[in-house]
Amino acid sequence: MLEEPYRWIEAIRNRREYLDDQLQGASPVVGMAYQGGLLLLTTTPGPRKLFEVYNEIAFAAIGHPADIEKLRKAVIDIAHVEGFNLSASDVSLQRLVSFGIGPLMKSAFDEIFRSPFIARVLLAELESEDGAFYAIDADGSFAPVGRFAAIAGTEASAEGAVVRLKERDGRGLELEDALRVALEAWACGRLLAEGEEETPPDDARIADFLGRTLAEVNVEAAVLDRALPTKSKFRLLQPADLKRLLAAYAN
């Protein structure tokens, strides 16, 4: 019996290493505030990674597609139950994270005879002038991350992308310029994740990488747009919205 706590600790350590290994190659998701609202951007080989949750709240994730879908549906269900039982104004990002998805992911991670969620999640909300982002790790830990956010397969990748976003503050940028900043931050994170760079790459290295890579990936971007006249502020950008951006990096 005395050994049981140590076995549990060892099992948790093994799960953490397993999750890090499974998520290591994931394409980063970056988020930033811009003049018109909030922007999320990533790349994907197929299944979507950016979704609406509730009115002014958006969901993004990296990881196993089935686990991403389970978490997305769970957050939507929690938001709608909250809105029905209380009111739409009571559906907030902090409540969804603190009392919803955070405990859900922690419970799956702690129960060693149950499969954990192979995912990291980013939630965004237009709650103030700059908006807000929360990052939720695979073990259920979470933290507000301000106006600049990234989730990635490695800590260095996420940190590198955020540093790039902070260097090019997007609050005064129009959407087209914000997309360029977000795409370059994604490229910075991707280079660091692949181990091609040990320090954040410079502009020339990022431009070269994008020129070689964009033809092989699907760029996915979405906004929470304050200007939309509807209750829902979520808008998934279409290929036409990204055409000029992608053409600027074409070799």
Chain segment 89-105, per-residue pLDDT in tens: 788 898 999 999 999 99
pLDDT at 79: 92
Domain that holds residue 188: 28-242
Whether pLDDT at 184 is above 90: yes
Strands 132-136 and 218-225: unpaired
Tell me if the pTM is above 0.85: yes
Tokens describing residue 66 = 């089935």
82 in any annotated domain: yes
Average pLDDT value for residue range 106-119? 91
70 in any annotated domain: yes
Whether pLDDT at 206 is above 80: yes
Tens digit of each residue's pLDDT (9 = 90 or more) over 32-59: 999 989 999 999 887 889 999 998 999 9
Domain CATH code at residue 152: 3.60.20.10
Q: How confident is residue 208, by pLDDT bands cut at 50, 70 and 90? A: very high
Average pLDDT value for residue range 185-193? 93
Tokens describing residue 68 = 């991403």
109 in any annotated domain: yes
Whether pLDDT at 198 is above 60: yes
pLDDT at 5: 66
124 in any annotated domain: yes
d(CA 124, CA 155): 20
- Strand ranges inside the chain, DSSP E: 29-34, 37-44, 50-54, 57-63, 119-125, 132-136, 142-144, 148-151, 218-225, 234-236
Q: Which of 57-61, 100-104, 125-129, 134-138 has the lowest average pLDDT?
A: 125-129
248 in any annotated domain: no
Average pLDDT value for residue range 191-197? 77
Query: Which residue from 132, 174, 135 is spatially nearest to 32, judged by alpha carbons?
Result: 132
Domain count, the chain: 1
**pLDDT > 90 in the chain, percent:** 65
Distances (CA, A) of 216 to 116, 190, 219, 232: 31, 14, 10, 32
Task: Mention every residue, 6+ apart, whose C-beta is less than 8 A from residue 109.
Answer: 12, 15, 116, 117, 138, 139, 140
